[in-house]
């Protein structure tokens, strides 16, 4: 056997070992997800090495690679696209070109990315916004916001809230031809978190006269207290969002101090004086039986008070919308929630569905068996296309 053959064999073995990702049997098109995971793991390892060597922060390196997916605000035959600012926050606006005798619907969209990554200019979000604007004949506002690690909570929340309030001004709505009675908000992952949080905040804001008709949350991250939910136990290694990365995103939202990340990962970050908050995220009472699957609830071990004093944001309802009490929840609008079977954030969304329904809010819950986190954002997946169509159909019927 020649040297070249041996070398190729070794490269093949290394590639197979490095790229191997065990997946559940009912995931459609598993090789596409394995390929996607291979690419993401490669970039993540480059970012990790760069961080260890002190070259660049892990998230900044990921953002550098993701920036190659950004596209310019190019109009097409159906939609006019433009970049502008709302209250000094960069947004991308999509306006249908076809004539409309009536006022249009409006949708305010918030991208995901763990509060650290992503952009309204990202290809997948640009495509989704175009399709939404065209199919619903709606004006779509896709907002940006400042990102960690350079900016921490509550900057992300405040950017989104300020941009949304600007959009809800009567003169702005009139300028875009939007019906003030038909405005909704939506977001995925971290964007779903921000959508839920700002929708709650709007309820008590006396300056906002125009209210949202619907909220649509796509596999949202909604709580920071319990890092030992059944969905976290079952899907801790499932791509593209394993538990380790999810916890890193959460901790970066509040601080670059890695001690919070370590405490969150082992579920020892909530101080005893804040233990009363666990009633809002107690999965043993909030998850339907089929999602408990024999898991036994155990009360988290309390963490040091120092972490909560230094980084109190993780106990703030604006960062963890599941911490809102029922008085707040019962005033929320018609809601649509997407959750995925193989997603660490699955139980966040399901618990929110339960709490909203218990508070009297009308909720449509679309649980995707065989689904995984981010499926709408990855082009080429049949399951993502189906779920996107279901999402747009619900918006079309309810907004």
For 315-364, how does the pLDDT look when each residue is reduced to its tens digit (9 = 90+)?
999 999 999 999 999 999 999 999 999 999 999 999 999 999 999 999 99
Per annotation, catalytic residue among 343, 347, 348, 377? 343
Instruction: At 173, list the tokens.
Output: 């709505």
Integer Cα distance of 109 and 18 in angstroms: 36
Integer Cα distance of 116 and 156 in angstroms: 10
Integer Cα distance of 280 and 388 in angstroms: 30
pLDDT of residue 8 exceeding 60: no
Among residues 71, 153, 149, 137, the alpha carbon closest in space to that of 105 is found at 137
Q: Is 244 a catalytic residue?
A: no
Per annotation, catalytic residue among 129, 189, 216, 274? 189
What are the pLDDT digits (tens) for 232-258? 999 999 999 999 999 999 999 999 999
Yes or no: say if 366 and 23 are a contact pair by the CB < 8 Å rule: no
Residue 14's pLDDT band (cuts 50, 70, 90): very low
Q: Distance between the two ends of the chain, CA-based, in angstroms? A: 67
More confident residue, 13 or 30: 30
Per annotation, catalytic residue among 142, 186, 373, 377? 373
pTM over 0.85: yes
Superfamily covering domain 76-398: Alpha/Beta hydrolase fold, catalytic domain (3.40.50.1820)
Q: Is 343 a catalytic residue?
A: yes
Yes or no: say if 321 and 336 are a contact pair by the CB < 8 Å rule: no
Q: For residue 20, what pLDDT is reported?
A: 62
């Amino acid at each position: 056997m020649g040297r070249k053959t041996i070398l190729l064999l070794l490269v093949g073995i290394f590639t197979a070992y490095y790229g191997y990702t065990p997946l559940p049997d009912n995931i459609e098109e598993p090789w596409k997800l394995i390929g996607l995971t291979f690419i993401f793991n490669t970039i993540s390892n480059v970012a990790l090495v760069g961080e260890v060597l002190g070259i660049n922060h892990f998230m900044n390196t990921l953002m550098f690679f993701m920036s190659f997916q950004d596209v310019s605000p190019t109009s097409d035959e159906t939609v006019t696209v433009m970049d502008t600012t709302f209250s000094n926050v960069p947004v991308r606006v999509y306006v249908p070109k076809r004539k409309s005798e009536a006022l249009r619907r409006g949708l305010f969209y918030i991208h995901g990315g763990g509060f650290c990554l992503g952009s309204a200019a990202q290809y997948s979000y640009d495509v989704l916004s175009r399709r939404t604007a065209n199919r619903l004949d709606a004006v779509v506002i896709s907002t940006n916001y400042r990102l960690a690690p350079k900016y921490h909570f509550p900057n992300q929340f405040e950017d989104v809230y300020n941009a949304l309030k600007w959009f809800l001004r009567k003169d702005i709505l009139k300028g875009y031809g939007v019906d003030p009675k038909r405005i909704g908000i939506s977001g995925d992952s971290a964007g779903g978190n921000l959508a839920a949080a700002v929708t709650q905040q709007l309820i008590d804001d006396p300056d906002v006269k125009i209210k949202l008709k619907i909220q649509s949350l796509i596999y949202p991250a909604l709580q920071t207290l319990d890092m030992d939910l059944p969905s976290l136990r079952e899907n801790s290694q499932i791509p593209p969002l394993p538990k380790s990365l999810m916890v890193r995103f959460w901790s970066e939202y509040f601080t670059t101090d890695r001690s919070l990340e370590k405490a969150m990962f082992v579920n020892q970050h909530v101080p005893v004086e804040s233990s009363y908050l666990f009633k809002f995220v107690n999965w043993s009472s909030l998850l339907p039986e089929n999602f408990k699957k024999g898991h036994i609830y155990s009360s988290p071990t309390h963490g040091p008070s120092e972490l909560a004093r230094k980084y109190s944001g993780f106990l703030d309802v604006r960062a963890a919308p599941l911490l809102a009490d029922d008085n707040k929840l019962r005033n929320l609008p018609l809601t649509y929630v997407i959750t995925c079977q193989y997603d660490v954030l699955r139980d966040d969304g399901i618990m929110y569905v339960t709490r909203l329904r218990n508070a009297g809010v009308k909720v449509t819950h679309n649980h995707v068996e065989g689904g995984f986190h981010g499926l709408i954002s990855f082009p080429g997946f049949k399951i993502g296309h189906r779920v996107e169509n279901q999402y747009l159909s619900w918006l079309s019927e309810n907004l």
